């Protein structure tokens, strides 16, 4: 019996399977690089193919549905002796007996195949998350079951059991975590249903309703107090977080090569998660350039003056690596909030704070979405608008004023301002260049004090 071998392409370094089936040499390519983990998983697949061939139940189209050879072999399994000789499979005998019951792979076998096929398009952290769900939740429950035998009732019972499992912060698993686990199960079963042509078990099953995102932005006064009270070596770090809206992984992964002082830009190109550099950023729209406000530029220049030339990170840890998110949260952030008497909030709220401050200042929603790395403005209005008073009018006066002024212009009569609104007092034009220069000259503490005074104005 010919062996199913795992080999590596010299030109690309990608792994592939090399074996003989029905007297034909078969080479099935993958996008997996030559690593111990990939070799181990591909060897597991090779062993399963070997067993199927030896049992005479190997169906080429099941394992390699996109391969041209799947059509060549026609999806007809052949026995070991016939596979060795290369003889064509015998034609089916006419029989009045009922057709045999549908045969599909076990869930565990297909789940491993699906994981191998999908891995090249996933980022490292996502791949780890999928692997964890497979090993901890899906394989122990469905591993030995035939794919076509898993029913909607089985899926619903599985979800009910998930809801009983303990959660992270006490209580049971939340809807978001349950939906994530169920999402992976849905993808596996739906893909299997397409390949083996059976009714998917997920038909009619909707995700659980999730609570609205926990958004608790800080006020300007709270931001001022935080920047004044925080340890001096973390003041620049928090200034950048509060006034750019960078995600935790983006600011912790910021390198000097991505700070363009000449053009006054921060280039978001990389991210760090759990101390590991990720390839690229969260989404395509997360790849962006952010203009530095005066206080942000000053914070960056402070870091530049104290920079270790051998360190690539703008905000390094004491060991010289990227900022450790867990260490910052536990040793700096939460103790600082307790010292100030603030309710505990995740450091990610600095991003929400930046978004709400931009909206409150009247910036264009399209510009804010670009700065935050959102693909559309929908999230801004869905998540943040309730934190910004008077962001939109709801009394109809703006509409009434527009209609009245247009009708007055058409009839030649002088428009009359509705009584519910008052004309704003005339003010002298502002020299924008001089104002910007004055802002650039302020320190973060001075700017925070100025913002506090502005808030006290009626």
The pLDDT tens digits for 208-259 are: 988 766 788 999 999 999 999 999 999 999 999 999 999 999 999 999 999 9
**Stretch among 25-34, 52-61, 275-284, 394-403 having the lowest mean pLDDT:** 394-403
- Directed axis angle between helix 232-244 and helix 349-360, to 10°? 50
Tell me the two tokens of residue 123. Answer: 């980022």
DSSP-assigned beta bridge partners for residue 430:
none
3-state secondary structure at position 106: strand
What value does the mean pLDDT take over residues 22-48?
A: 86
CA distance 214 to 218: 13
Identical fold for domains 107-196 and 220-387, yes or no, is no
Phi, psi of 362, rounded to the nearest 5 degrees: 85, 20
150-181 pLDDT tens trace = 999 999 999 999 999 988 777 888 898 999 99
411-457 pLDDT tens trace = 555 555 544 444 444 444 445 555 555 656 666 666 666 665 555 54
Burial level of 414, CB count in 10 A (0-12/13-18/19+)? exposed
Q: Is the pLDDT of residue 377 over 90?
A: no
CATH number of 107-196: 1.10.150
Q: What is the pTM assigned to this prediction?
A: 0.57
In 3D space, the residue among 146, 76, 153 whose CA is nearest the CA of residue 111 turns out to be: 146
**Stretch among 65-69, 146-150, 369-373 having the lowest mean pLDDT:** 65-69
CA distance 334 to 340: 10
* Structural element, H or E, at residue 52: helix 36-55
Unique residue bearing structure tokens 């729209």: 285
Residue ranges of domains in the chain:
5-85, 107-196, 220-387
CA distance 327 to 321: 13
Name the CATH superfamily, with its identifier, for domain 220-387. Intergrase catalytic core (1.10.443.10)
Unique residue bearing structure tokens 């977080």: 241
């Amino acid at each position: 019996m010919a062996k199913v071998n795992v080999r590596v392409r010299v030109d690309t370094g990608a792994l592939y399977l090399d074996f003989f089936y029905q007297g034909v040499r078969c080479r099935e390519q993958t996008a997996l690089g030559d690593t111990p983990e990939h070799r181990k998983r591909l060897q597991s697949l090779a062993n399963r193919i070997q067993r199927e061939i030896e049992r005479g139940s190997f169906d080429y189209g099941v394992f390699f549905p996109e391969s041209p050879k799947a059509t060549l072999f026609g999806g007809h399994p052949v026995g070991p002796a016939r596979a060795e000789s290369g003889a064509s499979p015998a034609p089916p005998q006419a029989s009045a007996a009922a057709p045999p019951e549908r045969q599909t792979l076990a869930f565990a076998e297909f789940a491993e195949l699906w994981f191998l096929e999908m891995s090249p398009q996933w980022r490292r952290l996502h791949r780890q998350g999928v692997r964890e769900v497979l090993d901890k939740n899906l394989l122990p429950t469905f591993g030995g079951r035939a794919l076509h035998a898993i029913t909607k009732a089985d899926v619903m019972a599985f979800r009910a059991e998930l809801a009983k499992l303990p959660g992270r912060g006490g209580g049971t698993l939340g809807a978001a975590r349950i939906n994530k686990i169920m999402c992976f199960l849905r993808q596996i079963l739906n893909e299997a249903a397409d390949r083996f042509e059976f009714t998917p078990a997920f038909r009619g099953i909707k995700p659980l309703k999730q609570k609205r995102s926990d958004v608790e932005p800080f006020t300007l006064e709270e931001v001022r107090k935080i920047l004044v009270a925080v340890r001096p070596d973390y003041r620049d770090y928090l200034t950048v977080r509060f006034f750019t809206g960078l995600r935790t992984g983006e600011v912790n992964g910021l390198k000097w090569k991505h700070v363009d002082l000449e053009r006054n830009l921060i280039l978001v190109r990389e991210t760090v998660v759990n101390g590991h550099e990720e390839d690229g950023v969260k989404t395509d729209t997360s790849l962006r350039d952010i203009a530095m406000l005066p206080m942000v530029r000053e914070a960056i220049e402070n870091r530049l003056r104290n920079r270790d030339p051998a360190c690539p990170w703008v905000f390094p840890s004491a060991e010289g690596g990227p900022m450790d998110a867990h260490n910052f949260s536990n040793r700096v952030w939460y103790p600082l909030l307790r010292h100030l008497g603030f309710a505990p909030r995740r450091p990610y709220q600095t991003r929400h704070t930046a978004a709400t401050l931009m909206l409150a200042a009247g910036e264009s929603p399209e510009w804010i979405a670009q700065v935050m790395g959102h693909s559309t403005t929908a999230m801004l209005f869905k998540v943040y608008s309730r934190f910004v008073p008077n962001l939109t009018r709801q009394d109809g006066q703006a509409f009434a004023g527009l209609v009245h002024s247009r009708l007055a212009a058409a009839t030649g009569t002088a428009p009359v301002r509705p009584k519910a609104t008052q004309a704003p007092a005339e003010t002298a034009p502002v020299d924008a260049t001089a104002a910007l220069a004055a802002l650039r000259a302020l320190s973060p503490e001075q700017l925070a004090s100025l913002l506090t005074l502005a808030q006290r104005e009626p």
